Amino acid sequence: MQSFQPPRRILMGPGPSDVSPRVLAALARPTIGHLDPEFQKLMEEIKAAMSRLFNAPDHACVPLPAPGTAGMEAAIMNLLEPGDRAVIAINGAFGGRMADMADRAGAEVTKVEFEWGQPVDPVKVEEAMKGGPVKVLAFVHAETSTGARSDAAALCALARKYGALSVVDCVTSLGGIVVDVAAWDADVVYSGTQKCLSAPPGLSPIALSKRAQAAITGRKTKVRNWLLDFNLLMSYWGGEGGRTYHHTAPINALYGLHESLVALFEEGQQAVLVRHARTHESLAAGIEAAGLKFLVDEPHRLPQLNAVIVPDGVDEAAVRSYVLAKWDLELGAGLGPLKGKVWRIGLMGASATPWHVRLCLSALCEALEAQGFKTDAKAVLAAADAKLA
Amino acid sequence: MQSFQPPRRILMGPGPSDVSPRVLAALARPTIGHLDPEFQKLMEEIKAAMSRLFNAPDHACVPLPAPGTAGMEAAIMNLLEPGDRAVIAINGAFGGRMADMADRAGAEVTKVEFEWGQPVDPVKVEEAMKGGPVKVLAFVHAETSTGARSDAAALCALARKYGALSVVDCVTSLGGIVVDVAAWDADVVYSGTQKCLSAPPGLSPIALSKRAQAAITGRKTKVRNWLLDFNLLMSYWGGEGGRTYHHTAPINALYGLHESLVALFEEGQQAVLVRHARTHESLAAGIEAAGLKFLVDEPHRLPQLNAVIVPDGVDEAAVRSYVLAKWDLELGAGLGPLKGKVWRIGLMGASATPWHVRLCLSALCEALEAQGFKTDAKAVLAAADAKLA
């Protein structure tokens, strides 16, 4: 057993995205205690930065000590008690996961299903909301499995209209497209660190409205989860009146998240969103010039997650293996019904640059050629470049 | 908001312990994808190293993607279904936490309670086992809240005798005292990374026997937890037949754990245990020479977690503040009924060295002097040194 030296990789899958040298360096700073007064200051800075990034000034914001799925589980398990009704929109893998969790919480789950690649249709969701009291309306803002963006404002408004609490999965959206918790009047919103924040995986930033907090403190039954029980967590992360030991926070991972937030605000929240949008336009121009098509219609496309349809006669996995072997480039595969049918190309955080677009298009053209699918690589790059001129 | 530069700290509390430069450096290696073939190799190496460290050749070993508490929660939530009976030994904070989790799993919980600072008495536990079928017997091998070691072999044998599955909390024991899962014939054993393994907090190594796996795959109800459901987790970590996406593993944290295991095996498993034992003997000689007393009787004392009784007239918190301010030294406070009554001095992993013992004793003598408690610092250090001569 020897020290592990990772190979060079260019990360353009569905996450993790490339982690910048400054964030990697932050991870390696000396570990201090999780109850240290200096660590408390770090925690407060992270909470404040998350609140700013989510635009959630009135929400409680904390980074949960586990990957993005923990945010989903915390939202579902804290809000739902046995017998509660939950309406869950499913337009990809992650909506389905929410429904599974709600079932484990003992809730009655009403699934509202859509074809993978389509956004959630609020009209269809409203029909489901009408059938009796609903405790939670949950949906995915940016479906990582398909690259479709849903209308979070409209869906959160529906939740308010029917007296339900909204749960919004922003794992892939935060830092890549507008996430505006205050404007949406959303209740529980969570994300991950390994997508557009470009920190390593392992943490899940989450924001809870006052309504959500009241629902949790007023539960009749214990949350079916100890590590993610907000009744316990909030006194660990709460700044005023001292902290109560709960778990041991993942210190060094939090150094990394903090540094990624410092970098994001240095660049500017708006500038980061514009960079994601422009990089996507460049990639999309190249993809189309190569004769390839997107899974998702243009108005609903996420800039940071591009699901590209595998052309007839091309071996999906062989293309990914080729670009990994020849270009150290990681692209994502399709999940579930999209397995073998799409590639998922991430343009997230530090991976959303013109350099990444050019590398990806070059590698993809070469891999397609190797499969007998003709492309004009020069024209493809020219089309991509033109969007950035 | 600026980059965070942690202060110098010498970590001698209940964890995290000092993290060595080589483990810190490993954390900062470039992030690669969690489905990358090279990452798969890393996962297999970590699993094999954990199996060796636990001495659990026939167990499934994986590192859970959250702090040590996740190991506890995974054990309890996966094994227990509503209506199952669990016997839980409580001789400190962590046994109590297990009971809370078992209640959330819907189990009928029989608590067997002991004074804090005492080991678990198998005779008293056996009485509780007699009252009808028991699904799980859970206990803490090394109570971090008190520094008491319990007899894991005897307690696991009791579980076998009564047809129960054993759950053993080895968060603080693994890598500091003998943990021998095969000899104990234990079912579910878990640990944390931030104690004697001297990696940052954030992961929970866990081992499951074939009996435990069969109980989990044969459940009548879904596990009340999605992220920690072994029915899902094992196909993510399972080597043969490919991996199924579940969560996104905390890549860089796993680099750190891997490097800490490489370092441990380089030093040698036995050598590491001897180092912990000798360092403890040195500290204990110094503590006694200073006129201080241990909470736990000598035969049950953990070398890596030393609960020292605060003498009458000395302000517990003021001493910790003093050594933090003057020596950058972190000591632990008492929890629950021991709050204000003990200090917890950790000698874990990279913090288990003669240098740490000398620094701690020097700082402690100085802080006690400042409170009017007289010690002979020279004699204290001489007593500590004598044990290492």
SS3 (DSSP) at B360: helix
In chain B, what is the straight-line distance between the N-terminal and C-terminal CA atoms, in Å? 50
Q: Judge whether B379 and B49 are in contact, CB under 8 Å.
A: no
Distance CA B68, CA B192 (A): 4
Residue B160: per-residue pLDDT: 98
Which element (helix H / strand E) includes B41?
helix B37-54
Distance CA B273, CA B263 (A): 14
Q: Judge whether A262 and B3 are in contact, CB under 8 Å.
A: yes
Residue A239: per-residue pLDDT: 58
The reply to whether B66 touches chain A by the CB within 8 Å rule is: yes
CA dihedral A11, A15, A21, A27 (to 10 degrees): -140
Distance CA B362, CA A301 (A): 63
Q: Judge whether A209 and A362 are in contact, CB under 8 Å.
A: no
Distance CA B3, CA A26 (A): 8
- For the segment A264-278, what is each residue's pLDDT rounded down to a tens digit? 999 999 999 999 999
Residue B242: per-residue pLDDT: 63
Q: Does the predicted model carry a pTM greater than 0.90?
A: yes
What does DSSP say about strands B85-90 and B108-113: parallel, antiparallel, or unpaired?
Answer: parallel
Average pLDDT for residues A289-307, to the nearest whole number? 98
**Per-residue confidence band for B131, with pLDDT thresholds at 50, 70 and 90:** confident
Average pLDDT for residues B23-33, to the nearest whole number? 98
A77 min Cα distance to partner chain B (Å): 9
SS3 (DSSP) at B268: coil
Structure tokens at B315: 């302000």
Average pLDDT for residues B143-169, to the nearest whole number? 98
Residue B240: per-residue pLDDT: 58
Statement: residue B365 has pLDDT above 60: yes
What does DSSP say about strands A165-169 and A136-140: parallel, antiparallel, or unpaired?
Answer: parallel
- For the segment B78-104, what is each residue's pLDDT rounded down to a tens digit? 999 999 999 999 999 999 999 999 999
Q: Is the dihedral of CA A240, A243, A249, A255 positive or negative?
A: positive
Distance CA A67, CA A198 (A): 13
- For the segment A313-323, what is each residue's pLDDT rounded down to a tens digit? 999 999 999 99
**Per-residue confidence band for A341, with pLDDT thresholds at 50, 70 and 90:** very high
Neighbours of A224 (CB within 10 A): 26
- For the segment B53-65, what is each residue's pLDDT rounded down to a tens digit? 999 999 999 999 9
**Cα–Cα distance list, B195 to A16, A160, B173, B305, B345 (Å):** 28, 46, 8, 10, 12
Residue B235: per-residue pLDDT: 86
A247 min Cα distance to partner chain B (Å): 6
**Cα–Cα distance list, A323 to A331, B275, B297 (Å):** 8, 48, 62
Name residue A254's amino acid: L
How many contacts, defined by CB atoms under 8 Å, are there between A and B? 246
Chain A contact set for B24 (CB, 8 A): 28-31, 252
Distance CA A321, CA A317 (A): 6
The reply to whether B258 touches chain A by the CB within 8 Å rule is: yes
Neighbours of A7 (CB within 10 A): 12
Average pLDDT, chain B: 97
Q: Which residues pair with A166 in a beta bridge?
A: A137
Residue A252: per-residue pLDDT: 98
Statement: residue B239 has pLDDT above 70: no
Q: Judge whether B246 and B236 are in contact, CB under 8 Å.
A: yes
Interface with chain A: mutation pick from B17, B27, B78, B348, highest number of A CBs within 10 Å: B27
The reply to whether B192 touches chain A by the CB within 8 Å rule is: yes
The reply to whether A49 touches chain B by the CB within 8 Å rule is: yes
Average pLDDT for residues A130-141, to the nearest whole number? 96
Question: How large a percentage of chain B has pLDDT more than 90?
Answer: 96
Residue A131: per-residue pLDDT: 82
Statement: residue A205 has pLDDT above 60: yes
Residues 370-389 of chain B with CB under 8 A from chain A are none
Statement: residue B243 has pLDDT above 80: no
Q: Judge whether B51 and B182 are in contact, CB under 8 Å.
A: no
Residue B276: per-residue pLDDT: 98
**Cα–Cα distance list, A238 to A43, A46, A51, A70 (Å):** 9, 12, 14, 19
Distance CA A155, CA A124 (A): 11
Domains of chain A: 20-265 (3.40.640.10), 268-386 (3.90.1150.10)
A200/B253 Cβ within 8 A: yes
Residue A264: per-residue pLDDT: 98
Neighbours of A263 (CB within 10 A): 20
B30/A25 Cβ within 8 A: no
Distance CA B104, CA A39 (A): 31
SS3 (DSSP) at B172: coil
Of B31, B202, B248, the CB nearest to A250: B202
Query: Which residue from A minimizes the CA distance to B192?
Result: A248
Of B30, B201, B330, the CB nearest to A19: B30
Q: Judge whether B92 and B145 are in contact, CB under 8 Å.
A: yes
Residue with tokens 């969690």: B34
Name residue B349's amino acid: G
Name residue B287's amino acid: I
Of B4, B226, B330, the CB nearest to A101: B226
- For the segment A32-86, what is each residue's pLDDT rounded down to a tens digit? 999 999 999 999 999 999 999 999 999 999 999 999 999 999 999 999 999 999 9
A335/B101 Cβ within 8 A: no
The reply to whether B355 touches chain A by the CB within 8 Å rule is: no
